[in-house]
């Protein structure tokens, strides 16, 4: 079943809001997200899942990273954040259907936010775009009216001893949105915001963060010296355009990114290679060295790749560049249709011919990089 954001004007969003200002949609969808949430007691008790905890006493915020939570202190306003919650509850990926106008390689993860009464995120700025969906309870979002410059987000504007980079001052000239289940709020990069649960019941929301590679990382790969001109918080932004292949990077679309410099036409593929690696880097993926030197028997008619794999591709002069988890495979082999259908969950497997030299090379690549699903 397909879903989309109700009451959503794409052209208005693209022209007036994308990378500029917030966008609120009341009763934006009919997804029953609460049924897909994990068991919270199991989540709190799982030592392998990192929990970021923000508590507030008076005007003072405290922050800690915890692997185990007994319960939320009932008398202390507290918010717990869990990154990559869709990794533990894959059905939550149905949210991505609402954001079909966003290239899939831009999506970072889905973050869970759980707040008890008066639990808050504190006033802060994110250096990436985010879409927030309220799942249960309600939450009040204060949003400043203007984007902040990098200088307005530096250490001089932050609270002292704040590990989470909370802002000293939050503009009194702001807009407030009260989110209830089914509502959606888009907050662009550099727009200061402050979320608080003012109700006496717990509030649960999900945030889809968009991957914005650091300009510093991008330049390091091409020219280490130039990278020192940019701070850690400088990020790439991306202009929207409709009717796109969600996994394809194109040389013609390099102008969609706010790249700090351009290369000669014949060198632009180098920029796309670095973008492909950065967009598919996977912090939750580690090479499983136990597969090394093992004889692996595969059914070439029924090859499956790990569902956690990040993927995109681009084509340049009859050469295909496939990116998986930050690694690239270059070939003249056209596997686009199979891979796109597979990662769109429309096909359950891909078919390869191990007797074909390049397909054999691709099979070895996915084995060596531990992205093949072994059964």
> DSSP letters of 32-80?
-GGGGSPPHHHHHH-TTS-EEEEEEETTEEEEEEES--S---TTS-EEE
Q: Alpha helices, DSSP H only, in the chain?
A: 10-12, 40-45, 85-88, 215-220, 224-227, 268-280, 336-343, 357-368
All structural domains of the chain, each given as residue ranges with its CATH number in brackets, are: 10-210 (2.60.120.650), 215-368 (no CATH)
Give the pLDDT score at 328.
Answer: 94
**Cα-flanking dihedrals φ and ψ of residue 115, to 5°?**
-125, 135
CA-to-CA distance for 241 and 246, rounded, in angstroms?
11
- pLDDT tens, 94-127? 999 899 999 999 999 999 999 999 999 999 999 9
- The pLDDT-based confidence of 245 (bands split at 50, 70, 90) is low
Q: What percent of the chain has pLDDT over 70?
A: 90
CA-to-CA distance for 139 and 120, rounded, in angstroms?
9
- Taking the CA atoms of 161, 164, 167 and 170 in sequence, report the sign of the dihedral they define: negative
Give the pLDDT score at 1.
Answer: 42
- The pLDDT-based confidence of 59 (bands split at 50, 70, 90) is confident
- Report the side by side order of strands in the sheet with 193-196: 174-179, 139-144, 193-196
| Radius of gyration (C-alpha) of the chain in whole angstroms | 22
Give the pLDDT score at 215.
Answer: 81
- pLDDT tens, 306-345? 888 999 999 988 899 999 999 999 999 999 999 999 888 8
Q: What is the dihedral of CA 191, 225, 273, 293, to 10 degrees?
A: -110
Residue 2 has pLDDT above 50, yes or no: no
Q: What percent of the chain has pLDDT over 90?
A: 51
CA-wise closest residue to 183 among 358, 22, 6, 35:
6
Q: What is the pLDDT averaged over residues 75-97?
A: 92
Give the pLDDT score at 140.
Answer: 97
Q: What is the pLDDT averaged over residues 22-40?
A: 93
Give the pLDDT score at 54.
Answer: 92
| Token pair listed for 87 | 């990794």
Residue 163, helix vs strand vs coil = coil
- Does the predicted model carry a pTM greater than 0.85? no
**Cα-flanking dihedrals φ and ψ of residue 308, to 5°?**
-80, 0
Residue 256 has pLDDT above 80, yes or no: no
User: Of 222 and 317, which is predicted with more confidence?
Assistant: 317
Give the pLDDT score at 356.
Answer: 86
């Amino acid at each position: 079943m397909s879903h989309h954001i109700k009451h959503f004007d794409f052209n208005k969003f693209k022209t007036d809001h994308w990378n500029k200002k917030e966008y609120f949609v009341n009763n934006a969808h009919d997804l029953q997200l609460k049924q897909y949430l994990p068991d919270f007691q199991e989540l709190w008790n799982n030592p392998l899942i990192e929990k970021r905890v923000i508590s507030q006493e008076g005007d003072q915020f405290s922050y800690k990273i915890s692997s185990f939570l007994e319960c939320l202190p009932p008398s202390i306003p507290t918010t717990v954040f869990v990154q990559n919650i869709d990794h533990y509850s894959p059905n939550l990926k149905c949210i991505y259907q609402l954001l079909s106008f966003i290239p899939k390689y831009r999506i970072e993860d889905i973050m869970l936010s759980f707040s008890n009464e008066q639990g808050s995120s504190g006033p802060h700025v994110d250096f990436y775009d985010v879409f927030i969906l309220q799942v249960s309870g309600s939450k009040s979002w204060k949003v400043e009216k203007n984007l902040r410059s990098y200088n307005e987000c530096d250490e001089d504007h932050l609270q002292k001893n704040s590990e989470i980079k909370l802002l000293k001052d939050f503009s009194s000239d702001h807009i407030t949105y009260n989110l209830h289940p089914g509502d959606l709020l888009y907050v662009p990069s550099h727009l200061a915001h402050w979320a608080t649960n003012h109700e006496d019941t717990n509030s649960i929301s999900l945030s889809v963060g968009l991957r914005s590679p650091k300009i510093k990382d991008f330049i390091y790969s091409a020219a280490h010296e130039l990278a020192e001109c940019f701070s850690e918080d400088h990020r790439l932004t991306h202009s929207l355009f409709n009717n796109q292949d969600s996994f394809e990077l194109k040389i013609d679309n390099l102008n969609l990114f706010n790249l700090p410099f351009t290369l000669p036409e014949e060198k632009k593929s180098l920029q796309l290679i670095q973008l492909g690696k950065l967009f598919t880097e996977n912090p939750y993926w580690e090479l499983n060295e136990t597969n090394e030197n093992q004889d692996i028997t595969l059914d070439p008619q029924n090859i499956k790749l790990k569902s956690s794999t990040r993927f995109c591709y681009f084509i340049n002069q009859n050469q295909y560049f496939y990116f998986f988890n930050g690694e690239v495979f270059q070939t003249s082999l056209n596997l686009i249709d199979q891979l796109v259908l597979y990662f769109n969950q429309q096909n359950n497997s891909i078919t390869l011919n191990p007797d074909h030299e390049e397909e054999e090379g691709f099979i070895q690549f996915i084995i060596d990089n531990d992205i093949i699903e072994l059964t």
